[in-house]
Every structure is written in C-alpha cells, then in structure tokens.
C-alpha cells in the first residue's frame, strides 16, 4: 500500500472530517429530494426522510397520548416500531426544524460509530481507520434512509471498549440503551460474561433499565404507558410473521425453499453463537473477546427476520473487525471480498441494476456473505489456539 494512503487512513482528523461530510451530504440529499407518493398509489406525498419523520412524530404522539403503533398516513408512511423510550429520546431532535434535526441525527449516527471504533483497545490507528473506511458506504446507506443502525452499531462497539476498560456503568448503559432502541441489542449482554464483578454489572443494568422504563412516565400517565406497551407487544407479535428479510431465514427460504419456524432458526443460531463459550480458558484472551464482539454485530442482523439493506452497517462493522485481525488466507480474503461486493456495493449505482434486480434481491445476496463470514468466525473462535497473538497491521 502506498505510504500516503496508509498515512491518510491512519489520520484521525481526516476520517472524522470524512464522516462529518458524509453525514452532511446524506442529510442535504434527503432534504433536497422533495416529496413523492410512491408509497401509496394516488395517496399522500411523503418526504424523502420518511423514517426521520416517523421518529420525530412519535415524540409528539407520545405527548398527545396517542397510540404510537398505528398508521398516521397524513404524516408519514409505515409504522413506528421502537419503544416509547426511544420516542422520548427523539424529542432531542424533534424540537429542531427538520433540516437541523435530521442533520444532527445523522451526525449522531456517524460519530457514535466512529467513536466506538476509535475506542477499540489494542488496535493501531491504521487498523481502526481500515474498519472505518470499509464500513463507510454501508453507513451512508443507513444515513440516506435516516435509520438508527449507525447508532446501534456504535453503542455495541462502545460497550465492548468500555467493558475492556472495566467501565461497567457506561458499558451497561450502552447495551441497555441499544435494547431500548431495537430489542436485539440485548445480545450485547453476552459480552458481559467475560468480565469480573458481574454483580456490579447486574446492578448497573437494573439501574439503567429502571431509568429507561421510567423516562416516558415524565410525559404520559401510568395507564397510557401500559396501553402503549400492550400496543407495542401486539405490533411485535404481528410483525414477526410478515417477512424473512436478508437473514438466515431468507437465505434458507430463497435458496432451498425451506419453511422453517423463525423462532427455531433463532434458537439454533443462539446455540451456535454460544458454542465457543465452552472455551473458558479463552475468556482471558483479547482476541477471543474481540471476535465475540464482532460475532454479536453480525448475529443481530443475520438472525433478524426484518433485516433490510440499511441494517447491514451493523453486520459489516463485525465483518470488518473480523477481517482486519484475521489471517489473510485465501479463504478469508475471498469471504471478505464476497461481503464487500454483494453486501456493501450491490445496493449502489456501482453495481449493475440488472444483476441487483435479478440476482441480488431474489437470492438475498445482501445477507448471504455475512452469514458465511459469521460461520467462519465461529470456526475461528472454536479452533484458534488460546495463545493466538493479534497480527501486526497490514502494510
């Protein structure tokens, strides 16, 4: 690699600036695209930052004692599918005009993820820079859709870095907050198994859960809060049977025409995820804990029946973390290239539209490479000697 390029990748200021620019570009693009009515034929014209509008309006629905989990077609397309606590959090953005709130929202997603990667222990600035470069396109996809996935990935990565430094209060806050955004964040608690003072971790977790649960009560009555949670659980129950997404379930369905119960697939995935945990002696090794963090990031996407394109910034963060410290064997390089080509590049204009419409989408190739990488990562965790040393940065 040319020295100037390696120097640029290693330079924090360059990458911080790059991430800020991408967040600003995504925001301006969404704001300037105007409106469309592609979602409802002959219906309402919605803006191109519809997801942001859903989050924003949920805060006002909360204030007005409205049901958060029904359609509001005069305001936005699709349902709000997050917790009442997230509605409270989004009040921090809703109080601003859309142009400012949307920009701030995208900056939060970009910079929390960037901060999480830079907080990873035992990696050089060059290695961290490589991860950030690898995931930048996926992050842009998430920001162009005004999604929370950059924030989700950042919180889980931050939690790992904080656990490594024994900052249990902040680490558990990151995991609990991620779970109150999207329920799959609870998988992050698997990381806590590797660290001492589990009683303290449990107490902090209970504290933060209590705080998160109590926040909406600042704005709604207890009776209304109970109603909202019942409505939320009803939404999740009905939502579970709707689709397969770019997930293991979607892969099995489209490739092999298998109609396997989704809950069974998730349970089997959880068993495979936990298999390396039998290696108790490996808990003391950084590489093992690091790969577990990468595994968490991939698992929460590929076993999510609602996984869609903007979700994969989370999975690709795990893929990038795995690759930069993996042995650069032909198999590992091929798996990474497969993931970067089909997961990251396939939704972009770089990829031929014909192939996207007739190959990538019908065969869920957005998700398949991450599935293959995850199984290889599981193999590594099960077979690598405990005394394995981290490789030096690639030149």
> At 35, which helix (H) or strand (E)?
strand 35-36
Backbone angles phi, psi at 298, to 5 degrees: -80, -45
297 contacts 317 by C-beta, under 8 angstroms:
yes
Residue 125 placed within a domain: yes
Q: Is residue 389 part of a domain?
A: no
Q: Count the domains in the chain.
A: 1
Position 263 pLDDT exceeds 50: yes
391 within a domain of the structure (yes/no): no
DSSP symbol at 309: G
Is 164 inside any structural domain?
yes
> Is the model's pLDDT at 200 over the cut of 60?
yes
Say if residues 39 and 73 touch (Cβ distance below 8 Å): no
- For the stretch 342-356, pLDDT in tens is 999 988 888 888 888
Task: Give 40's pLDDT tier (boundaries 50, 70, 90).
Answer: low
Alpha carbon distance 175, 338 (integer Å): 30
Q: Is residue 388 part of a domain?
A: no
Rg (CA), the chain: 21
Q: Is the pLDDT of residue 285 over 50?
A: yes
Q: Is the pLDDT of residue 38 over 50?
A: yes
Q: How far apart are CA 360 and CA 247, in angstroms?
A: 13
Give the residue, 210 or 387, on which the prediction is more confident.
210
Residue 395 lies in a domain: no
pLDDT averaged over the chain? 92
Percentage of residues in the chain having pLDDT higher than 70: 95
Neighbouring C-beta atoms of residue 254, cutoff 10 Å: 18
The pLDDT tens digits of the residues spanning 287-308 come to 999 999 999 999 999 999 888 9
- Give residue for tokens 């699709």: 78
Neighbours of 240 (CB within 10 A): 12
Closest by Cα among 87, 45, 97, 98 to 64: 87
In a domain, 241, yes or no: yes
Backbone angles phi, psi at 12, to 5 degrees: -60, -40
Domain containing residue 305:
3-383
Q: Determine, yes or no, domain membership for 370.
A: yes
């Amino acid at each position: 690699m040319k020295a100037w390029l390696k120097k640029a990748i290693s330079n924090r200021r360059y990458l911080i600036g790059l991430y800020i620019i991408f967040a600003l570009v995504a925001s301006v693009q969404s704001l300037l695209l105007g409106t469309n009515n592609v979602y409802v034929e002959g219906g309402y014209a919605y803006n191109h930052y519809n997801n942001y509008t859903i989050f924003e309006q949920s805060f006002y629905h909360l204030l007005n004692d409205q049901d958060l989990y029904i359609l509001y077609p005069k305001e936005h397309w699709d349902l709000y599918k997050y917790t009442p606590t997230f509605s409270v959090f989004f009040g921090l953005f809703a109080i601003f005009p859309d142009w400012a709130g949307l920009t701030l929202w995208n900056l939060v997603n970009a910079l929390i993820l960037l901060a999480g990667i830079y907080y990873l222990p035992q990696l050089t600035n060059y290695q961290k820079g490589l991860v950030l470069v690898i995931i930048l396109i996926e992050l842009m996809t998430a920001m162009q859709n005004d999604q929370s996935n950059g924030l989700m990935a950042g919180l889980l990565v931050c939690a790992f870095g904080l656990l490594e430094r024994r900052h249990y209060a902040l680490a558990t806050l990151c995991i609990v907050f991620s779970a109150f955004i999207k329920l799959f964040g609870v998988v992050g608690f698997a990381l806590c198994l590797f660290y001492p003072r589990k009683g303290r971790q449990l107490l902090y977790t209970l504290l933060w859960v209590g705080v998160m649960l109590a926040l909406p009560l600042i704005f709604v009555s207890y009776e209304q809060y109970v109603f909202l949670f019942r409505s939320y659980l009803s939404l999740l129950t009905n939502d579970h049977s709707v689709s397969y997404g770019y997930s293991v379930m979607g892969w099995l369905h489209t490739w092999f025409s298998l109609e396997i119960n989704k809950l069974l697939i998730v349970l089997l995935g959880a068993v495979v995820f936990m298999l390396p945990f039998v290696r108790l002696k490996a808990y003391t090794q950084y590489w093992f804990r690091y790969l577990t963090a990468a595994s968490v990031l991939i698992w929460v996407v590929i076993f999510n029946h609602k996984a869609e394109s903007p979700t994969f910034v989370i999975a690709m963060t795990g893929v990038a973390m795995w690759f930069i410290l993996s042995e650069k064997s032909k198999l590992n390089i091929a798996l990474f290239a497969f993931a970067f080509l089909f997961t990251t590049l396939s939704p972009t204009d770089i990829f031929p539209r014909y192939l996207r419409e007739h190959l990538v989408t019908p065969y869920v190739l957005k998700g398949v490479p991450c599935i293959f990488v995850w199984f290889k990562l599981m193999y590594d965790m099960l077979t690598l000697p405990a005394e394995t040393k981290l490789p030096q940065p690639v030149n």
